[in-house]
Structure 1
Amino acid sequence: MGDNTLVLSHRVSEWCGVAPVLEEDIALANTALDLIGQTQLWLGLAGEIEGKGRDADTLAFRRDVWDFRNVLLAEQPNGDFGQTMMRQYLFDTWHLLQLKALKGSSNAQIAAIAEKAVKEVTYHVERSGDTVIGLGDGTEESHQRMQKALDRLWPYVGELFVSDAVDQALSAKGIAPEPTSLREEYDTAVNAVLAEATLTRPDSDFAHQGGKTGVRHTEHLGHMLTEMQWLQRAYPDATW
């Protein structure tokens, strides 16, 4: 959860100062800040449970690409504004369902983080969904760009619902939901928005995998981490 929000927050923050209009610039920056705040909570908890003295900053800035466990969707490049918002919507919809499930976690700390984050992500879904609809059902060009974005990003959606041994162990202990259990509600929500946006959901169920388990990432993550981590790598343990 922490790696997902960390990587996506950096991706979204890349729009700061260069978004199409001022309102979008501010909205994207606020979304990135929300995700960074959630990252601090998730990675802080991860460091605490790990018990090796690594805090959230250490986990964010001192790990190499193969140590990250974010889904591949989060690390995809921004592309144009339409691709950014499509990526955001596809992630947001899953993110909200995941957080709602985690509110009932048997782990009190996880439940508390989810309780806080769900309020922010509820807004994220509303905003990204409205934007997808507005652009999809907008001009001929905006529609084409949104369809192109959907076609490009859809193969990364399946990984959100792939279950492994860790997921199964967490589910058995009531800590987190089984990923596959969220798929039906996800599809219902996404299908409704895509229909209103006059966009065609790809027929293929092919899913890129590997980011969540660290087996493989796209080349984009390495380039992103180089930019994100260079200061902390150049000046280890520096403080303001």
Structure 2
Amino acid sequence: MPVTLDKHGAVAVMTLDRPEALNALTPAMRREMEQLVTAVRDDAEVRALVITGAGRAFCAGGDIHSFAGTGALAMRDRLRQQHRVTLGLYQLEKPVVAAVNGAAFGVGFNIALLADIVLAADTASFCQSYSRVGMVPDGGGLYLLARVVGTQRAKEMVLLADVLDAQAAQRLGIVRAVHAPDALMPAAMALATQLAAGPTRAFGLDKVLLARGLSMTLEEFLELEAAAEAVVMQTEDHAAAVAAFRDKTPPQFQGR
């Protein structure tokens, strides 16, 4: 299968596995990604997700060869498929780590932006390459990119289609840390394992608040914050953390 999902304890690893085409996305791959993200969402044993690519690329974008002869309605359906993947990752109430091992171009860049934390190999590169083929970014790219680097810098990156190396992406705040290629997945797994051992329900509500707060007034946000806090204080993890604080021992979160 060109997209695989492997479980390592509480961490799932989704790999774009079409290395001969630099993991360029086909319609079938988008369908598989949607199914696998849903499986991660519904699996209580999985408490963190790592996304990476096989071979020398993370994802080179959409498979341009599969666009040939696609009519307007069929293209709309294809984009709606990508939108379901985008929303599935954006709304996933579990930590997501992107391990960008090589080129992340076009929608590949935008998949990385959907992660909560991005790690990159020092051989990785990033490009909003759409203008090179006369297209606009898909997969929520403009929405996501502007919120990470700011509107003005996002316009530069989209209009000029500049290629950023891993270090430049780190300076812009896209990437948290840069690693040697053979150290990337161990670092991503260590980080995901750390996150999987945390308070999963609280992490999920953190993500909801951050996402919804972008379109709310402060008054509206504070109401949502109060509701989220009231819910999370009823979780087993909160009770365990309070007991651990009282006993001066490290908390042991179970994701409940």
Q: Place the TM-score, normalised by the shorter chain, in its bin.
A: under 0.3
Q: Which has the higher strand share?
A: 2
Q: Please, what TM-score do these two structures have when normalized by structure 2?
A: 0.27
Which has more helix, going by share of residues?
Answer: 1
- Structure 1 or 2, whichever has the larger Rg, is 2
Q: TM-score, normalised by structure 1?
A: 0.28
With a CA cutoff of 8 Å and minimum separation of 6, indicate the structure with the bigger relative contact order: 1
